Amino acid sequence: MDGHDFIARYAGIYEHSPWVAERVAEIASDIDDTSRLAVLMADCVDNADTEQQLALIRAHPDLAGKAQVAGELTEESSDEQASAGLDRCSKVEYERFQALNDAYKEKFGFPFVMAVRNSNRAEILEAFSARLKNDYDTEFETALAEIHTIARLRLEALRSG
């Protein structure tokens, strides 16, 4: 596949960050192995400067946030959040998510990121509370690791879909 087709196909793997697909297109456009492609894309992110990494983290929506309620999520994020039941929060759960989203962003300056596919609301809320205890560097690295997991799951879904 040529570079333009590659970018068009994989631009959404990293949330609102087509630069990842753009940077790996030249070396990855002929790769058909999902695992290898995931590694190349993750390496691209890991070798980006801190400001680009932070922008990537900040490109992610809040979990069970206002964008979800307003229907403003990407199709991928909407599907991922729905798979964890975040589109079916009770009023109490929704308020808890909002409070945790606000506390997390106030402490770290970026949204809580978690690969929520195959999780449920209770597990996510528990992880949210636990990770709020982390320091900035730990959470920055955890967010990037979660983003790589999300990307790998998106690649696998694209492959099987």
Give 34's Cβ-side CA count (13 Å radius): 13
Rounded CA gap, 81 and 84, in Å? 5
Confidence check: pLDDT of 67 > 70 = no
Kindly indicate the confidence band of residue 70, based on its pLDDT and cuts at 50, 70 and 90: low
Instruction: Indicate which residues carry an active-site annotation.
Output: 60
Residue 160: CB atoms within 10 Å: 7
CATH class of the domain at 55-160? mainly alpha
Domain spans of the chain?
3-53, 55-160
Confidence check: pLDDT of 7 > 80 = yes
Kindly indicate the confidence band of residue 69, based on its pLDDT and cuts at 50, 70 and 90: low
The average pLDDT across 44-59 equals 98
Q: How high is the pLDDT of residue 23?
A: 96
For residue range 114-139, what is the model confidence (pLDDT) as tens digits? 999 999 999 999 999 999 999 999 99
Sign of CA dihedral 10, 12, 18, 23: negative
The average pLDDT across 33-57 equals 97
Residue 155: CB atoms within 10 Å: 17
Q: Pick 11 or 2 by higher pLDDT.
A: 11
Amino acid, single-letter form, for residue 64: A
Rounded CA gap, 44 and 116, in Å? 23
Rounded CA gap, 48 and 52, in Å? 6
Rounded CA gap, 81 and 115, in Å? 9
Q: How high is the pLDDT of residue 122?
A: 94
Q: Give the chain's mean pLDDT.
A: 94
Q: How high is the pLDDT of residue 161?
A: 76
For residue range 8-25, what is the model confidence (pLDDT) as tens digits? 999 999 999 999 999 999
